[in-house]
Chains A and B, each alone.
Chain A
Amino acid sequence: MLRFVLRRLLWAVPMVLIVTFLVYVALRVGTNPLASYLRVNQRASAKKIQQYIETNGLYEGFGGYLRGYFQWLQGFVTFDWPRSIKGSREVWPEFRDAMMNTLRLGLTATGIGILIGLSLGVFVALKPGGLRDTTVNTGAFVAISTPPYVSALILQLVFAVYWNRWFGSSLLPTSGVYPPGNRGFDLFLMIKHMVLPVTVVVIQIVAVYTRYMRASLLEVLNSEYMRTARSKGISERRVLVRHALRNALIPIVTVAAIDIGAILGGLIITERIFSYPGLGDFFLGAYDNGDFPQMMPWMFFFTLVVIFFNLVADVSYAVLDPRIRLGR
């Protein structure tokens, strides 16, 4: 078991390096860091330009790229990050704040969404083909076909614009973490601002997880061992929980871990719409400016996250399903 985890870890390290190198190349080619810098700082002196080139390791040629990459890598790990092209701001503090915001939004939405989604999935799997099954299924389908910005727009329309018209003030704000000009920490305001974005993300998540759970549970319920379990004379509840649910959750856990990417994707879009200053917004802002020093740590961080969750998915699958664990 430990060997399995170790072997996976061993794979992960070169993966991280290769992928981030590819990303580095892509970003250097794509964002053209030098041109972007010059575009933003049109009156930069030759000395500043040279300094920029050196701190960011923008050397040419294949060897140059490699060298630049490793220089960058070293800087990243030691938290010695090159500064943003705009105003030479430090990248880390903004990044950290954005990360906090996104974590708050993401964890809340994911927690609520998965809980509701899984419960709903169980609820309908117990009576397949019935009215509630069809209703929930269709609803989930519609939700999946609705991109987050559409649901965001509709929600905003109803709760902010129209509410305003009918009742005189917005029930729920449509942007930012706090109203402009707010200082310090205010839980109530923060929650008020999070309601709409969280709802949008929750809709996406619930749709997906309801269908996962339904499919998985239905397959389990049709398995032979369910009949054996019932033939033992144990309570129906125990049959459902210890046999059906437990086995149904296994494939879901693995999928969930890998699905993080999709959830993050939805988060990025949602953040933009609600002007929520999270990591998604950070990335899009950096992308628009071609801000290489900002984009590189972002991509690196995300690569780590993705590979980490892939690892978690593999390991958890092995932990939960003894067939896999012992098959190796």
Chain B
Amino acid sequence: MTENALSLRDFRVTFPTLFGDVQAVRGVDLDVRAGEILGVVGESGSGKSVTFLGVMGLLPKSARISGSATVGDTELVGASSRIMREVRGRRVAMIFQDPLSALNPTHRIGDQIVEMIQAHNKVSTKAAMSRAIELLAEVGIPQPAERARQYPHEFSGGMRQRVMIAMAIANDPEVLIADEPTTALDVTVQAQILEILQRIQSELNAAVVLITHDLGVVARVADRVQGMYAGRVVERGSVESVYDHPSHPYTRGLLQSLPTVGRERLQPIPGAPPNMMDPPSGCAFRVRCPHAIERCADEMPSLLPVGDVESACWRADELSKVVGA
């Protein structure tokens, strides 16, 4: 088995506020290997973005982070800012949801990529710029030399996202984290972006984390998928397995709520996401779960293998024996 490019163990993030502590991430275990795409799905507030922002050290200084997050053999939790700066942009790169606001409007595109290159390589600006133009071409931007001299608002949404990707892969990172890269884009453009991500996966052999709430996107490109709820991982496994026979009630509920041909009525999951300042004891999903038992309130379930997937549910095993959706 190839070594994990990125590993998280019992990763926790807490935000102290005036009214109490918000436990955004409550013990996440995660592994991504080189050359694979891991989809991380969940609702808003599930902690999926916060987890990876925390890994990158991009959360506000008040955030309390504990646990372990390793890139290769470098521990990131509690690492000095010097180490973090070396890791960011070189070994782990991130692209964000809205490329218009994520790119500095007053800097030229080429300069922004050059900045990324020169942050980690001692090269002349000329050399960096020609590399930047190469990168723009790689992500499919026509006339890259001219475009490099333009500003973000002169690009369309899809083009801007390509620019962000070009910037992120500039230093050949081991891990690429894509935070909702397609959410702000049209469906047709989405496909193009996802295709670029797949190329990165195969050509650079990078580990790609694809954070999204769109199950369709995950189905299209991800190898493995991991579902998050209330700051914890609830299910993980290969995309085929999980989508075919989801074992966690939450995942099942998610897949069930997708509109499909033949289904007469939409079946949303009842209830609302929990308040992360005071989440329910034990399994946070139990208040919305049709299968909850007493044990669910007493003990927080850990990820246990159920068939060929892993699930954080005390009843996953027995429920999978019953024919599910």
Contacts and interface: CB of A to CB of B under 8 A. Distances in A.
B87 interface: yes
Nearest to A322: B151
B90 A225 contact: no
Pick from A225, A229, A231 the residue with the most CB of B within 10 Å.
A231
Interface in A194-238: 223-225, 227-236
Interface in A83-134: none
A250 interface: yes
- Assign chain B's interface to a size class: 20 to 34
A250 B167 CA distance: 25
A131 B151 CA distance: 39
Q: Which of B90, B104, B105, B107 has the most chain A CB atoms closer than 10 A to its own CB? A: B104
A232 B88 contact: yes
A224 B56 CA distance: 15
Classify chain A: how many residues form its interface, as a range: 20 to 34
B104 to A, nearest CB: 4
Contact of A228 (B81, B86, B96, B151): B96
Contact of A320 (B101, B106, B164): B106
B316 interface: no
Contact of B116 (A232, A247, A321): A232
Interface string A310-328: 0000000000111100100
Nearest to A223: B101
Contact of A326 (B88, B89, B154): B154
A228 B58 CA distance: 9
A228 B106 contact: no
Nearest to B94: A231
Contacts of B115: 232, 234, 242
B106 A224 contact: no
A48 interface: no
Interface string B185-214: 000000000000000000000000000000
Contact of A224 (B84, B87, B102): B102
A165 interface: no
B17 to A, nearest CB: 13
Nearest to B98: A224
A209 B127 CA distance: 40
B119 interface: yes
A39 interface: no
A243 interface: yes
A229 B104 contact: yes
Q: Which 5 pairs of residues, A with B, have the shortest CB-CB distance?
A: A233-B89, A233-B88, A224-B101, A232-B89, A225-B104
Interface of A: 223-225, 227-236, 242-243, 246-247, 250, 320-323, 326
13 contacts: A225-B104, A225-B105, A227-B58, A227-B96, A228-B164, A231-B56, A232-B167, A233-B86, A234-B115, A236-B81, A243-B104, A243-B107, A322-B151
